[in-house]
Structures are given as C-alpha cells and as structure tokens.
Structure 1
Amino acid sequence: MSVDVAAIETVNQAFYTAIEDADLDKMTEIWAEDTLEGKVSCVHPGWSMLAGRAEVLRSWALIMANTTYIQFVLTDVQTTVLGDLAVLTCVENILTAGEEGESSFAAGKVVASNVYVRSGRGWRLWMHHGSPVLQSEDEDEEEEAERDR
C-alpha cells in the first residue's frame, strides 16, 4: 500500500468516525475548502446535490443533530490515486437506531464514492456521493436469519 493510499484511507475512516461520533469539528477539518475553480459537493442518499462547503457542512450538522445512533462497517474499499486527486469507493454497511427512546435498529447499504484532493493540510474530502442499495426480500430474509443465529 502506498503512502498516499494509506493517508487517504486514514482520512476516510476519520470521516466515518466523525459521523458516528457526531463530531462536527472533525467533519469541518476533513472537508476541503471551496476554490475559485469549484466548490465541494455532497449527495446524501435520497437528497439533491449540495454544493459549497457551508451548505455541505450545514447538512452534516442537521444529520448529526437528528441521528441518535449510527455505525458504519465499510467493505469493498477501493482507492485510486490520480496525482493530487484520489477516488475511494466503498460499501457502507449501516446500522442505525430508531427514534429517541425506541430500542429498534435498522440496517442498510449505501454505495459511496469519496473524492479526495491533496492540499497544504494533507488529503481533504472534495466530494461525497452515497447511493442506497435496494435489497430484495430474499436478501432481507437472509440477513435476518444470520442475525438470529
């Protein structure tokens, strides 16, 4: 594994840890700054595209304020470095809690693409795009059977 790939995967893990910990300060450190050439962007599953650092960070603040519990297990991580840009794709296996006071949990999968840019502060997130993976009833039943074992 190259030094760049290791650094990108470390920042990527910090991104997901910031979500799990509802750490907006850490999230703010991870995102790149907008430039004259363009703005950072983010597509949350089911949302329209957000453009601009302020709008993206506002969306994370909203998500963090309204999420009681979330955990990510990343699989199928692939990282490609192209000079000062890097693309990391992965499957986000997500476990979330129900509303405050409920003891229910929900699981889901999202395929994510994260684009990182090399900056004076190291690798920073330039674009995050998450697309939900729709599961068939058979897959849901298989996962439920595995959890019951």
Structure 2
Amino acid sequence: MSDEQRLIELNEDFYAAFEAGDLDRMDRIWANGDLAASVTCVHPGWPALRGRDEVLRSWAMIMANTTYIQFVLTDVEVHLGSDFAVLTCVENILTDDDEDDATTFAGAKGVATNIFRRTENGWQLWVRHGSPVISDTHDDDEG
C-alpha cells in the first residue's frame, strides 16, 4: 500500500472512530512518544489545544456529548513530505439536531487540515484544524 493510500485510510479511521465514539481507536491514531507534547488540535470555534492528553480529553468530551454524527468526505487531497503529510478534506456532516427527537437531523459542512507524521509506529495524526464552512455560495460580482 502506498503512503498516500495509507494516509487516506488512516484519515478515514479517524472519522470512523469519531462516528463510533470509540476513544480507544481515536487514541491509537494520534501521535505519542516524543511528539506527544506537540500534538495540536483546533476544533471548530475552539482555541488551539496542545498536548496529546488535552487533545484526547477534548475528544472524550465531544464523543460523550454527540448522540449521532456521520461524515461523507470529499475533495480529499494528500501532500507528502519526507516525514510528514498534509491531508485536506471537506467534511459533509449529518448529525442529530435535537436530543429529544432522534428523527431530526441537521447537515453541516466543514473543512479540515490533518497533518500526519511518520513515526516508528507508522503514520500518526499530529496536528488537526477543523473549521466550519458558513456558505458555499460565492458572489461573482465581488473581487
């Protein structure tokens, strides 16, 4: 399997862990060891979180408070360096809109930049930045 294919698979594993609320699986994806202190995550609307422990605590909190979420990823691009890779993608999100009514869903869109590092344990997620997309429309009259 090529590095690019492995990174796309690892990125899909990240989203599958989030969808399943599987913190153990999420834990295996994030960098550790010498990189643990420099692990960084920016959730949409949050300040930057630094350090592996703080990042994983945030995921535990998010997963504990998410009743349903599903991602369809589009526009996935991988740019490889020698020991790092930058993966960008569009997150098309379907989520539970109302905790009292499990049949109400909401859609959203985000963009993500996920930076992976090549480690002795293979590729691991090192830095993540997620951002909401407020609108898909562009006014052609604006410069």
* Cα gap change, 1:70 to 1:113, in 2 (>3 Å): same
| Residues 15, 27 of structure 1: 8 Å contact kept | yes
The Cα of 1:122 is off from its aligned counterpart by 0.9
Structure 1 segment 1-149 matched on structure 2, within 5 A? 3-33=2-32, 35=34, 39-102=38-101, 103-135=103-135
Letter in 2 for 1:133: V
The Cα of 1:36 is off from its aligned counterpart by 6.5
- Separation in 1, partners of 2:36, 2:52: 14
Structure 1 residue ranges, 4+ long, deviating more than 2 angstroms after superposition: 34-38, 98-101
Deviation readout 1:14-49 (Å, 9 max, x if unpaired):
000000000000000000015279510000000110
The Cα of 1:101 is off from its aligned counterpart by 3.0
The Cα of 1:95 is off from its aligned counterpart by 0.5
Question: 1:18 is paired with a residue of what secondary structure?
Answer: helix
For normalisation by structure 1, the TM-score amounts to: 0.86
Question: 1:86 is paired with a residue of what secondary structure?
Answer: strand
Paired residues in the alignment total: 137
- Separation in 2, partners of 1:115, 1:38: 15
| Residues 34, 40 of structure 1: 8 Å contact kept | no
Deviation readout 1:75-115 (Å, 9 max, x if unpaired):
00000110010000000000100233312111111110000
> RMSD between aligned alpha carbons?
1.8
* Cα gap change, 1:122 to 1:36, in 2 (>3 Å): closer
For normalisation by structure 2, the TM-score amounts to: 0.90
Identity over aligned pairs, percent: 55
